[in-house]
Structure 1
Amino acid sequence: MLMPIERRRRISFFATAALLSVVSVTLSGCSEEKTEAAAVVRPVKVVEIAEADNVRQLSYSGSVRARVEMNLGFRVNGKIVERAANVGDRVKVGDLLARVDATDYELAVRSASANLDAAERQVETVKLVRDRVEQLLAKKFASQAQFDQAVLTYNQAIATRDAAKSALSQAKNQVAYTSLFADRPGIVTSINADVGQVVGSGTPVATVAVEGEKEVQVAVPETEIANFRAGQAVKVGIWSEAGLILDGTVREVAGSADQQSRTFSVRISLPNDQKVLLGMTATVEASADNGAPFVSVPLSALAKKDGYPIVWVVDRGTELVHSRPVTLADFTTDGVRVTEGLDVGDLVVAAGTQFMTDDLKVTISSATAATQSVATTTAEEAHLVR
């Protein structure tokens, strides 16, 4: 019986040794896998910081409008009985826009005409009296005082007649003012009153944009208004016409800010171009001095550490990333402007900053070295390099 037991022990010993060997090999394989996983580096996208410039671009949106816009209204009070123009109509000089009830003004013309007739009859009567007294004075049958009185009465009658003529002319003008006509060619851009509405003299009824020079009006904040002056050349782009860039000229800079928006109105004259229509949206771009140089990076490159803004900078030699605190100037539509913390030639991680840690190993494509540096003081988007 001893031989089988001894044999069993030997078999158990060899089985245990074999199991330990397998476990050891397995653990060794796991360790190698962990080592290989730890050696994996992360590919990143970076932007290269170019030399800062002191010039930056200002961009403002506005709408194309006529240089001259007329708010037309009646010169008399009345109830509108006809409106002949609609928004968008092209009008010529003398075209009817609207009309008010002229009944009362026509009655005034009749009354003034009757008064003039009476005044003319009075002039004829006193003229006969004056002539008669003059004849009697020549024959010594009338005194000089009587003749002077006749002359005075005649002159008064003449003045009354002249006043009646003026009243009649004024009454006729009032009738003419009941019709509102266009006095310059243009386009009707708005109608502010309609049939049945009672309007006062001077109340705007229709707005006509006069044909001719067009302009763009933009609102500029007080912090940037010093960068605009009359006669300054700017670039104007039309949103609906891609690629159309016009050479504009600043025509007028408001001397005071708007009471509500606290912005200054700037008007830019445009060259004549048939593609540019009234009401189109335009973008005005001008150059301005920075005062203090700054660089721009994509918004995706910005991160936070301990509550402060940072960016992740890649060391070219070791390809390790390090956090670097930065000072921000402001935000733009395509990035953020940095005044302190970055130097020319720095490689900044542009995407995946949430995965970055100090001394993390990353990979940068060799194309990065050949990539042209981006002028970061403009509003252009920085190039991304894998």
Structure 2
Amino acid sequence: MSRFHLVNRVGQFFVLCFLVFAMIGCGDRIAPPADQPANVRTEIAEVIARPRRRTLTGEYRARIQSDLSFRVGGRIASRNVDVGDRVEPGQILASLDTLQPVADVKAAQAALRSAEAAQQDALAEAERIEKLLESNSASQAEFDNAKAALLIAQGAVEVAKSTLANTESQLLFTDLQAESAGVIVARQAEVGLVVGPAETVFTIAEDGDREAVFDVFPTHIPERPVDDIISLKLVSNPNVKTEGTIREIAPSIDPASGTVRVKVAVPDPPSEMKLGASVVGEAQFRPMDVVQLPWTAMMRKGDQASVWVVDPQNQTVSQRVVEVESHQSGVMLVTQGLQPGEIVVVDGVQLLHPGQTVNPMQTPSDKSTLPTGTNP
């Protein structure tokens, strides 16, 4: 490299260093750029009435369902009805094997005849001793013993009569009869099965009032429906519809399922609505006042939902904790935390900080498509 080129390179280096130090020295005299307001889109909070409803699936059944069972145990010899059959009072539904009960009745009858014969012998002996006593041919002790034997024989006859009546009733109880008119809705036993006393064999839905039964989680019943009216329709055929009224809400929660049983009286059921059918019940509740906002407006403050609210006086934002009832169809429904007329940021919330100045651009909101509250 020539000397000329070396001098040229050294000169360029000194010129570059001079420019750098000159810029550093003048830096404290350059004013920073002003903080520009953030452009955000906003909506004005408007309180609107949101319709609410709940739909649940339940079972249509008779208001009174009775479990039928034999009063005595034994082996089922015959069954005369099946599920879905209609029965009338006094109709024999099933029968037990009568071999053993009949043998018990015959044994009780024989025991009664034996006791009656013994009673006659004791009576005759007592009368004989009494005549001998009158002629001083028998002692008073002998007569007393004869009377005691007669009393024992009379007691044995009463016991035999009671035993016979019990065995005869046991024989009558081998027939299971319907106590009221209705429809068989369940069968728990078959021919040949040995059942015990009071063991359920049939379940009968008695004629009379009908109802729909729902097992509902407590969170699905925020309050009683309007006028306690429930709209009902069949799951298998939604065109079959009717209305019912809440008759009973269980006062306690079922510990096994965690649900509350709700019974809805159905005063005028359609003929197509059969016992045991699955039905859908829909309850209408009083509207709830909410503020509808796009879901993009939501932020988190700790573990709580929040939104940015614009101060109309100085155009600054503050973070406000709100209570969100639900999220539906791209919107969130706020029940607490906002007042009507407040300006809420709905777009551009990610880069904001408390006290920041914004340039709000209002977005027209369309509340005509407010979603109806349904099951969560």
Q: TM-score, normalised by structure 2?
A: 0.64
Provide the secondary structure at the position in 1 that maps to 2:198: coil
Q: Paired residue for 1:263, among 256, 259, 263?
A: 259
- Structure 1 position 234 matched with structure 2 position 233: no
Q: Paired residue for 1:150, among 125, 146, 149?
A: 146
1:121 positional shift: 0.6
- The verdict on how the C-alpha distance between 1:82 and 1:361 changes in structure 2, with shifts beyond 3 A counting, is same
Provide the secondary structure at the position in 2 that maps to 1:71: strand
1:118 positional shift: 0.3
* Counterpart residue number, 1:62: 58
Query: For 1:332 and 1:209, how far apart are their aligned partners in 2?
Result: 42
Instruction: Letter of the 1:186 partner, please give it.
Output: G
1:131 positional shift: 1.8
- Structure 1 position 277 matched with structure 2 position 274: yes
Please say if residues 233 and 281 of structure 2, whose CA atoms lie closer than 8 Å, have aligned partners that are also in contact.
no
Q: Paired residue for 1:193, among 189, 193, 215?
A: 189
* Counterpart residue number, 2:81: 85
Unaligned runs of 5+ residues in structure 1 are 1-47, 312-324, 347-357, 381-386
Please say if residues 296 and 376 of structure 1, whose CA atoms lie closer than 8 Å, have aligned partners that are also in contact.
no
* Counterpart residue number, 1:329: 325
Q: Pairwise mapping of residues 336-347 of structure 1 onto structure 2 (< 5 A)?
A: 337-339=333-335
Provide the secondary structure at the position in 1 that maps to 2:48: coil
Query: For 1:362 and 1:102, how far apart are their aligned partners in 2?
Result: 86
Provide the secondary structure at the position in 2 that maps to 1:129: helix
Instruction: Letter of the 1:234 partner, please give it.
Output: I
1:283 positional shift: 3.8
Unaligned runs of 5+ residues in structure 2 are 1-44, 308-320, 343-358
Query: For 2:361 and 2:90, how far apart are their aligned partners in 1?
Result: 79
Instruction: Letter of the 2:193 partner, please give it.
Output: Q
Query: For 1:121 and 1:226, how far apart are their aligned partners in 2?
Result: 77
Query: For 2:107 and 2:169, how far apart are their aligned partners in 1?
Result: 14
Please say if residues 218 and 265 of structure 1, whose CA atoms lie closer than 8 Å, have aligned partners that are also in contact.
yes
Instruction: Letter of the 2:56 partner, please give it.
Output: Y
Query: For 1:375 and 1:203, how far apart are their aligned partners in 2?
Result: 55
1:329 positional shift: 1.9
- Structure 1 position 109 matched with structure 2 position 90: no
* Counterpart residue number, 2:212: 216
Instruction: Letter of the 1:165 partner, please give it.
Output: K
* Counterpart residue number, 2:242: 245
Residues 272-281 or 253-262, more deviating: 272-281
Please say if residues 242 and 270 of structure 2, whose CA atoms lie closer than 8 Å, have aligned partners that are also in contact.
no
Query: For 2:328 and 2:121, how far apart are their aligned partners in 1?
Result: 88
Please say if residues 56 and 287 of structure 1, whose CA atoms lie closer than 8 Å, have aligned partners that are also in contact.
yes
Q: Paired residue for 1:132, among 128, 136, 151?
A: 128
Query: For 1:284 and 1:175, how far apart are their aligned partners in 2?
Result: 48
Provide the secondary structure at the position in 1 that maps to 2:60: strand
* Counterpart residue number, 2:16: none
Residues 206-215 or 131-140, more deviating: 131-140
Query: For 2:147 and 2:253, how far apart are their aligned partners in 1?
Result: 65
After superposition, what is the alpha-carbon deviation per residue over 1:7-37, rounded to whole angstroms, capped at 9, x for unaligned? xxxxxxxxxxxxxxxxxxxxxxxxxxxxxxx
- Structure 1 position 159 matched with structure 2 position 150: no
Provide the secondary structure at the position in 2 that maps to 1:257: coil
After superposition, what is the alpha-carbon deviation per residue over 1:125-179, rounded to whole angstroms, capped at 9, x for unaligned? 1111122222233334333333332222112111111111111111122222222
Q: Percent identity?
A: 28
Q: TM-score, normalised by structure 1?
A: 0.63
Please say if residues 48 and 290 of structure 2, whose CA atoms lie closer than 8 Å, have aligned partners that are also in contact.
no
Please say if residues 116 and 168 of structure 1, whose CA atoms lie closer than 8 Å, have aligned partners that are also in contact.
yes
Query: For 2:72 and 2:330, how far apart are their aligned partners in 1?
Result: 55
Please say if residues 234 and 250 of structure 1, whose CA atoms lie closer than 8 Å, have aligned partners that are also in contact.
no
Provide the secondary structure at the position in 2 that maps to 1:98: strand
* Counterpart residue number, 2:70: 74
1:98 positional shift: 1.6
- CA RMSD in angstroms comes to 4.2
Please say if residues 185 and 203 of structure 2, whose CA atoms lie closer than 8 Å, have aligned partners that are also in contact.
yes
Instruction: Letter of the 1:191 partner, please give it.
Output: R
Please say if residues 238 and 280 of structure 1, whose CA atoms lie closer than 8 Å, have aligned partners that are also in contact.
no
Query: For 1:271 and 1:92, how far apart are their aligned partners in 2?
Result: 23
- The verdict on how the C-alpha distance between 1:374 and 1:210 changes in structure 2, with shifts beyond 3 A counting, is same
Query: For 2:193 and 2:103, how far apart are their aligned partners in 1?
Result: 22
- The verdict on how the C-alpha distance between 1:157 and 1:236 changes in structure 2, with shifts beyond 3 A counting, is farther
